[in-house]
Amino acid sequence: MDWYQTINEHIDLRSFSNLWFWIVLGVVWSTASYYVLGVPYDMVQRARRFGGDAAVDLEDMVRINVNRLIYIAQVSGLWVLGFTCFAFTSLGLLAIAYNVEFAQALMLLAFPLSLVGLLSLRTARVIQTEEASGERLHKRLMRHRLYTQIIGMISIFVTAMWGMYQNLTLGSLGG
């Protein structure tokens, strides 16, 4: 029984009172705001400051990632959309109708990330359409990063408020 209790302490499905959930939340949003369309932010800064080879490398990497995103959207976009809707419907039912805390935590993590995914696809299409390069490309990437950070801040705030509510409610119920 001691082995079972040890595992149960580390893999707890009560997410909002679990430190690991909050670590994952921070890492996910830190990573999402660091990689702008799959390009590390330091690469954008280096290209902006020094130009030359760094700017060429940035434009090549953005072009590769933009083409990849748009290709995936064109080839399997409807399948991805259908699967995503199925997953969110399932999570939503578990989170709301059945009040499963783990599903609530996943929903609060995955839904804003899906918004960032849609924003990435939109930004990729804009970059490809206007064939952005140089300063225009930098501005697009910086704006995308800013919007990602705003979505992340709102997401972390809402998740923290919901988590505190859940912990206070479950704590007062003795559960």
Q: Say yes or no to pLDDT of 170 above 90.
A: no
Q: What is the mean pLDDT of residues 2-11?
A: 68
pLDDT, tens digit, 9 for 90 and up, residues 51-80: 899 999 999 999 999 999 999 999 999 999
Q: Say yes or no to pLDDT of 174 above 80.
A: no
Confidence of residue 8 (pLDDT cuts 50, 70, 90): low
In this prediction, residue 20 carries a pLDDT of 87
- Report DSSP letters for the chain, one per residue: -HHHHHHHHHS-S-GGG-HHHHHHHHHHHHHHHHEETTEEHHHHHHHHHH-HHHHHHHHHHHHHHHHHHHHHHHHHHHHHHHHHHHHHHHHHIIIIIS--HHHHHHHHHHHHHHHHHHHHHHHHHHHHHHT--HHHHHHHHHHHHHHHHHHHHHHHHHHHHHHHHHHHHHHHHT-
Q: Say yes or no to pLDDT of 120 above 90.
A: yes
Prediction pTM value: 0.87
Q: What percent of the chain has pLDDT over 70?
A: 92
Q: What is the mean pLDDT of residues 136-156?
A: 96
